[in-house]
Amino acid sequence: GTRTAETSLSLKDGESVVLAGLIQPEDRTTVQKVRGLGDIPVLGEVFKTTTRDVVTTDVILTITPHIVRALELPPVDDQAFWSGTEEAYGLKQLFPDTGAGKGISGAAPMRPTPAPPGAPSPAPSSPGSQVPRQPPLGVLSLLPPDRTASVGEEIRLDVLVTNIEDLAEGTLTISYDPKVLEFRQAFEGEFLMREGTASVTTAANPATGTVAVRLTRPEGSKGVTGTGVLATLAFVAKEPGASPVAIQTSQLLSAAKAPLSATGGQGNVRVQ
C-alpha cells in the first residue's frame, strides 16, 4: 500500500539524515488443500490447512540535501577578448568601444581617420533627402482561371487584386473573344466597399471584344489596402470554342491620385 509521512528537517549542505518508522503490518492467510476434496462443504475442512501470518514491514529513507548555487560569471576581462580576423590574428580592437569590450587587455580605441587636405567635408544628410518609399507592386488575376460552360450559360469571373496599397479608384481594360463570349455586365467587388461604398461603370465594345471597367469610391474616401475582389464580370457563352479573358491594362490610383502599379492576369473559358 501507499505510505505517507510529513516532517520538517534542518540540515547542512551535504549532511545526511535517516528517516524510519514507516511501519505497516500485513495479515497474510495461506490455504493449502487437496484439489476437489477440499471444496466439499464441512467435510472439506479435513482435507485443507489454513495458515495465518502477520508480516510487519518498515521503510527506511536516507536523505542528503545539496544546495544548487547559480553559475558564477567570470570577470569581464575573461569573458571576451579581441582576436583579430581570419587573415590576421591580434589583440588590436577592430571596432569602436561601445562598452562590450571594456576592460579587454590590449584593446586600443579606434580613432577617426582624418580627411586629406583640401577634401570637401561630407554634407550632413537631412530627413527630406531620403528616397520616398515606393508602394508595393499589386497583382491582378481572374478567378477561376479556367472555366468550362455550355452554350447559353452565364459565366462569372472575379477580378482579384493582391498586395495593393491605398487603392481608391481604377480602370481595367478586359479583352475576350466576341465570337465565343458576350459581355453582359460588371458588379462591384467587396474590396473597394470596405468601410464605405463603391460604384462600377462599364463601356463595352462587342466588335473588338473589349470592355472598360471603371471602379470608384466617393470623393474624399480613404484608399483600401490588402487583397480582395475588385469586380465580378458576367459573360454569356455564345458559340462553342475557347476564349482567353485577359486584363490588358490597368490604371489604378490611390486616394491622393498617385498611380499604383499592378501586373495583369488572364483566364480561359471553354464553351462546349
3-state secondary structure string across 156-172: EEEEEEEEEEEEEEEEE
Phi and psi at residue 177, to the nearest 5°: -90, 110
143 and 267 fall within a common domain: yes
Residue where one domain finishes, among candidates 48, 63, 78: 63
In a domain, 131, yes or no: no
Q: Say which range, 18-27, 124-133, 209-218, has the weakest mean pLDDT.
A: 124-133
- Report the b/e string of 242-258 with b at 16+ CB within 10 A: ebebbbeebebbbbeee
Mean pLDDT of the chain: 81
Q: How far is CA 13 from CA 16, 17, 64, in A?
A: 9, 12, 8
Which residue would you say has higher pLDDT here, 236 or 120? 236
164 and 46 fall within a common domain: no
In a domain, 109, yes or no: no
H helices, E strands: number in the chain = 1, 13
Look at residue 38 in the predicted model and tell me its pLDDT.
Answer: 78
Look at residue 105 in the predicted model and tell me its pLDDT.
Answer: 45
Which residue would you say has higher pLDDT here, 51 or 104? 51
Which residue would you say has higher pLDDT here, 43 or 185? 185
Q: Say which range, 3-12, 113-122, 135-144, has the weakest mean pLDDT.
A: 113-122
**Highest mean pLDDT, choosing among 2-11, 87-96, 103-112, 179-188:** 179-188
- Structural domain for 47, as ranges: 17-63
Structure confidence by residue, pLDDT tens digits, 37-78: 778 888 888 888 888 888 888 888 888 888 886 666 666 555
Which residue would you say has higher pLDDT here, 52 or 169? 169
In a domain, 77, yes or no: no
In a domain, 10, yes or no: no
Collect all residues with Cβ–Cβ distance below 8 Å to 53 and sequence separation of at least 6.
27, 28, 29, 30
Residue found under cell 567635408: 121
Question: Is a pLDDT exceeding 60 seen at residue 188?
Answer: yes
Look at residue 116 in the predicted model and tell me its pLDDT.
Answer: 61
48 and 162 fall within a common domain: no
In a domain, 186, yes or no: yes
In a domain, 197, yes or no: yes
Torsion of CA 204, 207, 208, 209, to 10 degrees: 60
Predicted model pTM: 0.51
Look at residue 175 in the predicted model and tell me its pLDDT.
Answer: 95
Other beta carbons within 10 Å of 92: 13
- Report the b/e string of 220-237 with b at 16+ CB within 10 A: ebebbbeebbbbbbebeb
Look at residue 100 in the predicted model and tell me its pLDDT.
Answer: 46
CATH code, 267: 2.60.40.680
Which residue would you say has higher pLDDT here, 20 or 222? 222
156 and 253 fall within a common domain: yes
159 and 245 fall within a common domain: yes
In a domain, 119, yes or no: no
159 and 259 fall within a common domain: yes
Q: Quote the number of domains for the chain.
A: 2
Q: How far apart are CA 84 and CA 94, in angstroms?
A: 7
Question: Is a pLDDT exceeding 50 seen at residue 103?
Answer: no
Look at residue 101 in the predicted model and tell me its pLDDT.
Answer: 43
Which residue would you say has higher pLDDT here, 227 or 87? 227
Question: Is a pLDDT exceeding 70 seen at residue 89?
Answer: no
Q: How far apart are CA 35 and CA 207, in angstroms?
A: 108
Residue where one domain finishes, among candidates 8, 42, 63: 63
Question: Which class for 69: exposed (0-12), middle (13-18), buried (19 or more C-beta within 10 A)?
Answer: exposed
Collect all residues with Cβ–Cβ distance below 8 Å to 264 and sequence separation of at least 6.
140, 246, 247, 248, 249, 250
Structure confidence by residue, pLDDT tens digits, 199-257: 999 999 999 999 999 999 998 889 999 999 999 999 999 999 999 999 998 899 999 99
In a domain, 122, yes or no: no
The proportion of the chain whose per-residue pLDDT surpasses 70, expressed as a percent, equals: 75
